[in-house]
Structure 1
Amino acid sequence: MMRILLFLATNLAVLLIASITLSLVGFNGFMAANGLDLDLKQLLIYCAVFGFAGSLFSLFISKWMAKMSTGTEIITQPRTSHEQWLLQTVEQLSQQAGIRMPEVGIFPAYEANAFATGWNKNDALVAVSQGLLERFSPDEVRAVLAHEIGHVANGDMVTLSLIQGVVNTFVMFFARIIGNFVDKVIFKNEEGNGIAFMVATIIAELVLGILATIIVMWFSRWREYRADAAGAQLASPRAMISALEHLRAEQDVPVHMPDSMTAFGINSAGKSILAGLFMSHPPLEERIATLQRMG
């Protein structure tokens, strides 16, 4: 509940700040002077500000949100030999990938999972679950860490946020064009924005938002294959395949990764063809088969 409230509060704050900014610089009136036609240039600017505001703000606070929502404890001074090994392994993999050493953490969860996040590849966070550390072999843990380092080195967090911003922009843009068409052409309203504009815009945003999510999730699945390839290169193909097979063996165990972090985890699964369109990760069977073909 706290994570949901924080998410809603964050987005509300972004919308308020963006709205005030737009009003101050004069971009709040995207309707033309006669109230009938859209000023498409001004509308696009309006939508871009709102569309990118949320995704970029979320990106900049992603490490803080990840630590808070998962209960990740950052390893500053290793207290055990396992924590020392974890730090040394991430440092070695980071050097191989040519990035700065990220923060390393462990989050308290029974399910085997891991994630990487951060606003750029030289200021990232890599975290693994306690369950993964306890049940996976050192080679498998190293492969999972290599997969997450691959996400960081590929700049996946930044790219996904930018794509989400672009998608948000055009969903808002075309939804308002549709709303204006319905209001002016179908309902013959010539006195500014009527109720039909607002209703049609909301419905259009919902429909276009669903279609846009399919595009974003397709990219998210594609980047998982790239991260798997990076994991195989930084660790070894055998270890990466073994780690994915171990994840598949535990797939019946419920995954409780917070919604905001699911796209950045290593383990996620869907149950149907329709659900597959909205999956952030490809099926583990396909990822394993891809690595085997590469090998």
Structure 2
Amino acid sequence: MNTVKTMMLLAALTALFMGMGFMLGGSGGAMIALIVAAAMNLFTYWNADKIVLRMHHAREVDARSAPDFYALVQQLALRAQMPMPKVYIIDNPNPNAFATGRNPENAAVAATSGLLQMLSPDEIAGVMAHELGHVRNRDTLIMTMVATIAGAISMLANFGMFFRSNDNRSAGMAALLAVIVAPFAAMIVQMAISRTREYGADRAGAEISGNPRALASALAKISGAATRIPDPVTQHNPAAAQLYIVPTSISSLFSTHPATESRIAALEQIARDMGGPTSYGSAPSVVPRSARRSALDPNARS
């Protein structure tokens, strides 16, 4: 059901893009918009991971350059019965993480240095299990494509504001309405996709790590810091925030994530359903013994 809903929302974004093209250029503009949307979808399908990772200046790590972090992700991938994704670290004090890639066979997970320094190993395991949940649920491609099309709608709206002829008053008013409404409509569709997906990834992360309260604890720790510490990527490209485990700014109207409190409550319910411990910290750890140093010793990640 979620897959059908997501595809319908993605189709709605494409229709918005075509509608903008029609408002600004008639039937010819709609056709051009359709071609551009199709080209963007195709390009994003093959290059989603490269686009996102280059945007964040992420550096790939392996068992030699970041043994603890790499071993943790490897253990989680084995528990999830998934192919081992590529692993990246982003030198950024903002505590966050994301996953990208067109499918589980071509996936990547990334965490910021700020997140690795702030959380305990079990909490990091919960976060990375959440990201692997996105990969297993095939969320990453859809969300990247949505961000691309939403950004294109805003760009087209800006072009329309400056280049639309005003010789026809009614057409000009329609174009102006499209310029104002379409970007907000795109944000609403984007928001609906991401909120649905975050709950699913939280549940998958709880199942993969076996410790939903570790993920809940991580969300509680990083939610405040993620909004206080500036993130240069989302400052220039706000659509990138939907990829993160926690948003970088709080907005009750346009937040791309459910409220952190709601996610924590859902994870607590999952923990009760799983018959786990009554408090965080007493569940069996999935973190390899070699990685059970405080915050995954930063010296091991360089």
Instruction: Check whether TM > 0.5.
Output: yes
Q: Which residue of 2 aligns with 1:5?
A: none
TM-score normalised by length of structure 2:
0.66
> Could you tell me whether the CA contact under 8 Å between 2:58 and 2:91 is conserved in 1?
yes
8 Å CA contact 1:51, 1:168 repeated in 2: no
Q: What CA deviation, in whole Å up to 9, does each residue of 1:29-52 have, x standing for no partner?
A: x8xxxxxxx76xx87654432233
Q: Structure 2 unaligned segments of length 5 or more: list them.
A: 1-21, 158-164, 272-302
What amino acid maps onto 2:263 in structure 1?
Answer: R
**What is the alpha-carbon root mean square deviation over aligned residues?**
3.7
Q: Following TM superposition, by how much is the alpha carbon of 1:251 offset from its aligned partner in structure 2, in angstroms?
A: 4.7
Residue 234 (str. 1) matches residue 220 (str. 2): no
Question: Does the 8 Å CA contact 2:223/2:247 hold for their aligned counterparts?
Answer: no
**Per-residue deviation, residues 114-135 of structure 1 (Å, max 9, x unmatched):** 1111222221111111121122
1:265 pairs with 2:244 = yes
Identity %: 30
Separation (CA, whole Å) in 1 of partners of 2:212 and 2:225: 20
Secondary structure in 2 matching 1:61: helix
- Residue 90 of structure 1: how far off its partner (Å): 1.5
Give matches, 1:60-209, under 5 Å.
Answer: 60-76=46-62, 78-79=64-65, 83-161=66-144, 197=171, 200-209=174-183
CA offsets 1:151-184 (integer angstroms, 9 cap, x no match): 111111222355568889999xxx9xxxxxxx9x
| Match of residue 255, structure 2, among 276, 279, 284 | 279
Q: Separation in 2 of the partners of 1:166 and 1:69?
A: 17
Q: Structure 1 residues 55 and 195, CA, compared in 2 at 3 Å: closer, same or farther?
A: farther
SS in 2 for 1:115: strand
Task: Tell me the number of residue pairs that the alignment of Structure 1 and Structure 2 aligns.
Answer: 240
Indicate the structure (1 or 2) with the bigger Cα radius of gyration. 1
Alpha-carbon deviation of 1:143?
A: 0.6
Does the 8 A contact of 2:100 with 2:141 survive in 1? Answer: no
Q: Distance in 1 between matches of 2:52 and 2:151?
A: 22
**How many Å apart are 1:108 and its aligned residue?**
0.5
- Say which structure, 1 or 2, has more relative contact order (CA 8 Å, 6+ apart): 2
**SS across alignment from 1:224:** helix
| Cα-to-partner distance string for 1:189-210 (whole Å, 9 max, x where unaligned) | 9xxxx57536633531431331
Question: Could you tell me how far apart the structure 2 residues matched to 1:167 and 1:120 are?
Answer: 21
| C-alpha distance in structure 2 between counterparts of 1:137 and 1:170, whole Å | 40
Runs of 5+ consecutive residues of structure 1 not aligned to the other structure: 1-29, 31-37, 176-182
Instruction: Give runs of ≥4 in structure 1 deviating > 4 Å.
Output: 42-46, 161-171
